Amino acid sequence: MSKIERFEDLKCWQAARELVKEVYTMSDEGKLAGDFDTKSQLKKAALSTMNNIAEGFGRYSRKDFIRFLDTAQSSALEVQSMLYVLSDLHYLEAGSIDILRMKVGDTKNMTLGLIRYLRESENKR
C-alpha cells in the first residue's frame, strides 16, 4: 500500500465526498426539497461520514483514527437508514435512492476495509 500523506488520498474519504455531493444534489429533488428537517438530517449524516474520516486522519494515534472511522461508517449507516424513509414516503425517485444506496455502500465498505487494515497492521507490530 502506498503511503497516504493527506486525508484526501484516502479512498474512503473520496467515496464519502461523492456521497455528500450526491446527497446535496438530490436534496433539492422531489418531496425531499420541501422537508427541511429530513433534508437537514440527511445532509448532516453524510457530512459526518466525510468529516469524521478527515478528522480521524489528523489524530495522533491509530486507536483514535479507528474510533473516528467507526463513527464515519456509523454515519453512513444513518444515511442508509434514512433512505428507507425517503423510499417509503416517495420523497425521491427509486433510481435516485438506488444511486445513494450504492454510494453509501461503497463508502461504508471502504471505511470498514481501512479499519480492518489498521487493526491488522497494528496486531503485526
**pLDDT tens-digit series, residues 61-116:** 999 999 999 999 999 999 999 999 999 999 999 999 999 999 999 999 999 999 99
Q: How far apart are CA 51 and CA 54, in angstroms?
A: 5
For the chain, give every domain's residue range: 10-123
Distances (CA, A) of 9 to 4, 14, 62, 75: 6, 7, 17, 20
Global pTM exceeds 0.85: yes
Please state which CATH class domain 10-123 belongs to.
mainly alpha
| 60 confidence band (pLDDT: 50, 70, 90) | confident
* 2 or 122, higher pLDDT: 122
Contact criterion met (CB below 8 Å) for 59 and 68: yes
The yes-or-no verdict on residue 2 having pLDDT over 90 is: no
